[in-house]
Chains A and B, each alone.
Chain A
Amino acid sequence: MKDESSPIDIPQPATFDATRDGALHGTAIDREWLSAKQAGLISCRDCGQLNPLAESQRQAGNCSRCGSKLHQRLPYSIQRTWAFVIASLIVFIPANTLPMMTVLNFGHGQPDTIISGILFLLKIGMVPVAIIVFIASFLVPLAKILGLMILLITVQRNSTVQPRHRTLLYRLVDLLGKWSMLDVFVVTIMTAVVNLGYISSIEAGAGATAFAVMVILTMFAAHSFDPRLIWDLAETAEKAETKASKEIQE
């Protein structure tokens, strides 16, 4: 396969070898990775089919298998992710400060925000539940927003630090996405169940709407970030390194 006259060796795509843990891990010659983009290919995001990309085109049209629109990388990924991240940060404020619900006993009650709800759970001694609610409704949304900001800033600054860990961070953000919806569901069920007329009832508050919108915005943010951007830069850095090391050897 190697062409002796070419100055740079052609990297070979990885192939699979079975390993002990039942998973297959690829091995590449000289640990030089080859991405679809470098090989002039575009993989379809809907069905995974590889499509060739002509040298001149930046837009490759539609997938040969399923007809989806093809993009080498998600269009305007960074701008769109920033927009959603900033929007979620803005909505994070009313989501935490507006009342989620008001428990009315004999016509009296205090509006509950997320934080005061957690404090109430602690007060009646439901520590594990309080921790679950605190993690799902306060920590996770914030961590998601911060995580995405770290990813955006590192990609924009052309950072090549720890691409693998940053990919794991992205995966975590994506995975945690839906769990923040917990509080909205809790308010919905509570409002419907606790409905004993004048004795005891629950009124849902505007905080619940703000909170749901915030979670949806963070999910949109995670979906609009393209993790392949992390590796594009790592690749160019790797290339430069191998080139440099080759020159030193010579």
Chain B
Amino acid sequence: MQQFLSERNLSNWIACPECDLLVSKPILARGEKAKCPRCSYLLHEHKPDSLNRTLAVSLAGLLVFIPASTLPLLGLEAFGLKNNVSLLECILAMWSREMYAVAVFVFFFSIFFPLLRLVIMLYLALRLRWNHFSPHFITFFRYFHHLKEWGMPEVFMLGLIVTLYKLVGLADVIYGFGFLGFIFFLITATLVTAFLDEHWVWEKLDEGRE
């Protein structure tokens, strides 16, 4: 067995992350996907023009981030009183009510992690575009996939929708531009995942090192 594999270059093989099955590294044509034959885990997906798309989307996400987090999301109008809040004000409201843990969690999950992903992606895409590599870069990219697990802008969006339903019966709801901004921010955060080809990035980093 050892001999059988050592005769071949290890970089021609991959192991399924979920069931550890050895498979030959798939070479994909446009629109193809490779699934693990044993547990059907999606191993690779062909992502055309990954670099440019990632660059464009992460740039758009960073532009839309400031309005998304600082402009009012939602507001209420009742008895002549008005109250508008932005995403950051929501977090500050929890903080001022001494719900520190919740404030910190909401900040990290709905803003910080998705934002950090976009920043890292933009930096990475720019560096790869101009072929500037450095060893620290590899260490940097290692932790990247953990951010996807902990970023939850899509859940926050659902939270906004549920809140709307709850408030509609109580008073007049005012929509702010922050609501629209957050929808765009969510779209960019989601598209980064869809466009980014991590396998390709690792291969590029390998080449850059040699």
Contact = CB atoms under 8 A, between A and B. Distances in A.
Interface residues of A, number: 84
Given A195-B83, A231-B20, A1 B4 contact: yes
A200 B172 CA distance: 13
B1 A38 contact: yes
A24 B34 contact: yes
A228 B19 CA distance: 4
B69 to A, nearest CB: 13
Contacts of A231: 19-21, 38-39
A37 B170 contact: no
Contacts of A28: 37
B21 A170 contact: no
B19 A185 contact: no
A241 interface: no
Interface string A21-56: 011111110000111111111010111111110000
B145 A46 contact: yes
B18 A171 contact: yes
Contacts of B199: 48
Contacts of B36: 26
Contacts of B97: 191, 203-204
Nearest to B1: A39
Residue from A23, A51, A132, A195 with most neighbouring chain B CB atoms (10 Å)? A23
SS of A interface (majority): mixed
Contacts of A199: 78-79, 81
A15 interface: yes
B210 to A, nearest CB: 11
Interface string A151-187: 0000000000001100100110000011101111111
A33 B21 contact: yes
B18 A43 contact: no
A192 B89 CA distance: 7
B94 A65 contact: no
Given A15-B24, A219-B149, A230-B19, A192 B94 contact: yes
A119 interface: no
Contact of B106 (A65, A66, A184, A219): A184
Given A41-B5, A203-B97, A167 B18 contact: yes
A196 interface: yes
A150 B147 CA distance: 28
**Which of A49, A50, A178, A187 is the most central at the interface, judged by chain B CB atoms within 10 Å of its CB?**
A50
Contact of A35 (B14, B20, B156): B20
B6 A52 contact: yes
Nearest to A180: B155
Interface string A200-221: 1001100011001100100100
B85 interface: yes
Q: 6 shortest A-B CB distances, which residue pairs? A: A185-B159, A26-B37, A36-B15, A43-B15, A192-B93, A13-B22
30 contacts: A14-B24, A16-B34, A26-B23, A26-B24, A26-B37, A38-B1, A39-B22, A40-B2, A41-B13, A46-B145, A48-B202, A50-B10, A51-B10, A66-B142, A67-B142, A124-B169, A126-B165, A167-B18, A170-B18, A182-B155, A189-B85, A193-B83, A195-B85, A195-B93, A196-B83, A200-B78, A200-B171, A204-B99, A209-B102, A230-B19
Interface of B: 1-2, 4-6, 10-11, 13-15, 17-24, 26, 28, 31-41, 73-76, 78-79, 81, 83, 85, 89-91, 93-94, 97, 99, 101-103, 105-106, 109-110, 138-139, 141-143, 145, 149-150, 152, 155-156, 158-160, 162-163, 165-167, 169-171, 199, 202, 206
